[in-house]
Structure formats: C-alpha cells, structure tokens
Amino acid sequence: HVQLVESGGGSVQAGGSLRLSCVASAYPYRRYRMGWFRQAPGKEREGVAAIDSDDSTFYADSVKGRFTISQDSAKRSVILEMNNLGPEDTAMYYCAADSSSSAGNWWLKHGPSLGVPVWGQGTQVTVS
C-alpha cells in the first residue's frame, strides 16, 4: 500500500515563493508518474504539474514559467517549486502517484475524474 506524505505548504504574500515536498513510501509502478493537483474551495480538483520516472515533465498552462517540478528518485520524493505566487494559486495541494501509461497533459486534465490510484492528505497554500 503506497502512501504519500506532503509538506511545505503555508501562507505567503503575492509574488512570493513556496516549496512543496512529497515523499512516497514506495513507487506504485516501475514506470511511474508523480504529480501535484490542487483544489480551491468550491472548485474542482485541477492538475498542476507532473513528472515521470524518465524525468519527463508536464505543467498546467496556468503555472508554466512559475512552477518547477523535480524529483529525487533515491529518496522517492518529488518537489514543487512555486514562484511568483498569486491569490489564484490559493488551494489545497495534493500529491498523487500513478503509472505513466497515459499522456502527461491528459493525466493532469482528467486524472481526478478517472481515478488516480494514490493521493496524499494535502497541504494548504494560501497567497494573500
């Protein structure tokens, strides 16, 4: 049973930066995908960024140029560096794990509705 533990959320002023971390107890698949989704109150969960076991990366258009996803496979961790944050980035951020069999951008858009198998508990990001 794979578990994901997020950390690094918090409150920051607009224009600031935060770094989110997610550590997996194990990788769910040999060819895996780790990603971040976020959900603001009253809104659907949306994809933010993802990284595959081959280091391919994928980003939502809303965060391109501001967010960077990376991983340390030896530590089974994935990092989301968030810069130039705005109030629109306020949300609960969830780490997720899946196989990398689907297209990354498709997974970011449709993953939550089609059943991403592993989710973390979430970490809150508030930008004021």
- Which two three-digit tokens encode residue 121? 């508990």
Nearest to 34 by CA among 105, 104, 98: 98
Q: What's the pLDDT score for residue 114?
A: 79
Query: Which segments in the chain show pLDDT lower than 70?
Result: none
The answer to whether 74 and 68 are in contact (CB under 8 A) is no
Query: Which tens digit of pLDDT belongs to each residue from 68-94?
Result: 999 998 999 999 999 999 999 999 999
Nearest to 7 by CA among 96, 108, 101, 94: 94
